[in-house]
Structures are given as C-alpha cells and as structure tokens.
C-alpha cells in the first residue's frame, strides 16, 4: 500500500486554543506539535498493521509547521517546507488519502478552531454553490488522481463534515466541540489507540471507497472576513463580486487557491 497522510494542528486531542497553533504565540505550540505527531504515528502504525511494507508519505499541512520531525515514525517520510503548490506530491501512485488532526470548515457551529485555510481572513469558500472546507478541497484534489479519501481523525464536527462528503470514510473523533476554543477531549493515549485501529480498518476498506470527484467547470466563491481585502485573489485571476467577495471560474482545479 502507498498512503498519503495530510495533517493539521487544530484537530488533535488536547489542542483547543489558537495560541497552541500560531507562530511563536505560545510555548504551548510545541506541546500541540507533539500531540499531533503522536497521532500521526498512531495512523502510521495502523496502516502498517494492515501492510508491513506500506510506503507512507506525511504532508505537514499546518502553515507554521505542525509536525515534530524528531518524533516522527521511522517508517514515514515527511513533506514539509515553503512554496507548496497543489497537488503537493500526491499522484496516481497512491492508494489512499488519510487526514490526521483535521478541523471543520469556517463557520461550523461549535467547531473547535474551525476555519477554511486562513482563520484570520476567510469567512467561507463555496465550490459550485456548496460550502466547502479544507477537507473537501483536498479530497477533490486527490480524486483528480483517482485517490480515495478513506480516513479522518479530528474533532467531531470535522468527522461529520467528512462523512457528509465521503459516506464510506472511517472517522475517529478526538474531541467533542463545544465552542471555537472549547472541546471535551479524549485522553491523548485513548485518541491514539482509536486512530491506530481506525487507520487499519480504513486501509482494509480503501479499495472499496470511490475517489470523490467533481467535474469541471469549477466556480469557487471566496468571501473574506470584515475589513479584509480581496485584492490578492483578484491578482490571482478571481473576479470581484463586492468588497469582500470574489469568484474563480476555471476548468483547471489546480488553478484554485486550495
């Protein structure tokens, strides 16, 4: 098996506040990175429980860095650095996409640390008229290459979002959202135990899950938060709708800000 694990820092058990995730805001970030990395390792172990010879690539998807490379499982390789552009290393050679540490899309009620790409700027994304978050955008990206999304670990709202988008996906809720910075968390050890078991189950099911595809043309509407300027999106080719909203219209999914 060849597996791609996409990670983020907001979803692990024990992570609840913005100052655990942002650049240099708090020494708590190093603890959050350790919690995420151990959940990644649990996912890696689950995949290896299914296939001891599995090839596993991990993408650190958190902007300021979320993986403590010193703790990463020795059987995994890590994609991390600057200048990422989709598809960020995923291609037809992969058998499955796994998400670890995932949060829900911007605007999700009681979604812990919920946002869509930028917690400081974006109010929402809509793809072809439907609200979509990072999970959906990356799942469709994988689908372009025939890769199914089979697993997600994160808060319960992220799990609900994933199941609505990919009904056959295996999910592991690491915490129950009670607010933007409030959740009822599993213990880290219990979260890891469940993630390992869930990743093994997802690996077994991978060949039966269809890739999630959305056919072109693509219309991505991006609305920013109050006081934010859409000029950067307009320079990338988006058409201005109002002072906070713009739209991309293209047949090339990789041209979108995903």
Query: What is the reported pLDDT for 247?
Result: 98
Residues 243 and 166 in one domain: no
Q: Does 122 fall in a domain?
A: no
Q: What is the predicted pLDDT for the residue at 133?
A: 98
In this predicted structure, what is the pLDDT of residue 25?
67
Domain count for the chain, please give it: 2
Tens of pLDDT, residues 210-227: 999 999 999 999 999 999
Are residues 107 and 68 part of one domain? yes
pLDDT at 84: 82
Intervals of the chain under pLDDT 50: none
Of 27, 7, 5, which Cα lies nearest the Cα of 17? Answer: 27
Distance set, CA 134 to CA 6, 73, 137, 205, 210 (Å): 11, 25, 5, 23, 19
Q: Which pLDDT score is estimated for 82?
A: 86
Claim to verify: residue 53 and residue 6 sit in the same structural domain: yes
**Does one domain contain both 182 and 240?**
no
The answer on 90 and 202 residing in a single domain is yes
Site of tokens 């201005």 = 240
Contacts for 117 with CB less than 8 Å, ≥ 6 apart: 125, 134, 257
Both structure tokens of 16? 């609840």
168 and 150, same structural domain? yes
In DSSP notation, 216-240 reads SPEEEEEEEPTT---HHHHHTTPEE
| Domain shared by 182 and 223, yes or no | no
- Please tell me whether residues 185 and 235 are part of one structural domain: no
- The answer to whether residues 148 and 256 belong to one domain is no
The reported pTM is: 0.96
Distance CA(219)–CA(62), nearest Å, equals 25
Q: Quote the domain boundaries for residue 207.
A: 2-115+132-212
pLDDT value for 85:
85
């Amino acid at each position: 098996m060849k597996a791609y694990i996409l990670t983020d820092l907001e979803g692990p058990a024990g992570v609840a506040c913005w100052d655990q995730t942002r650049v240099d805001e708090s020494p708590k970030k190093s603890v959050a990175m350790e919690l995420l990395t151990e959940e990644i390792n649990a996912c890696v172990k689950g995949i290896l429980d299914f296939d001891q010879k599995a090839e596993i690539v991990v993408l650190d998807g958190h902007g300021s860095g979320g993986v403590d490379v010193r703790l990463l499982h020795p059987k995994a390789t890590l994609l991390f650095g600057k200048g990422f552009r989709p598809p960020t290393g995923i291609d037809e050679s992969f058998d499955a996409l796994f998400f670890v540490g995932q949060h829900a899309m911007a605007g999700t009620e009681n979604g812990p640390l919920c946002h869509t790409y930028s917690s400081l700027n974006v109010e929402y994304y809509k793809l072809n008229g439907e609200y979509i978050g990072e999970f959906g955008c990356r799942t469709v990206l994988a689908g372009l290459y025939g890769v199914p999304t089979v697993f997600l670990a994160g808060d319960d709202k992220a799990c609900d979002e994933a199941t609505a988008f990919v009904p056959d996906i295996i999910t592991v809720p690491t915490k129950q959202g009670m607010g933007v910075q409030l959740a009822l968390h599993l213990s880290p050890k219990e979260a890891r135990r469940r993630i390992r078991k869930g990743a093994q189950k997802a690996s077994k099911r991978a060949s039966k899950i269809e890739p999630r595809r959305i056919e072109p043309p693509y219309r991505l509407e991006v609305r920013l938060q109050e006081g934010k300027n859409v000029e950067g999106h307009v320079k990338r080719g988006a058409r201005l709708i109002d002072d906070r909203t713009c739209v991309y219209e293209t047949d090339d999914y990789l041209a979108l800000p995903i």
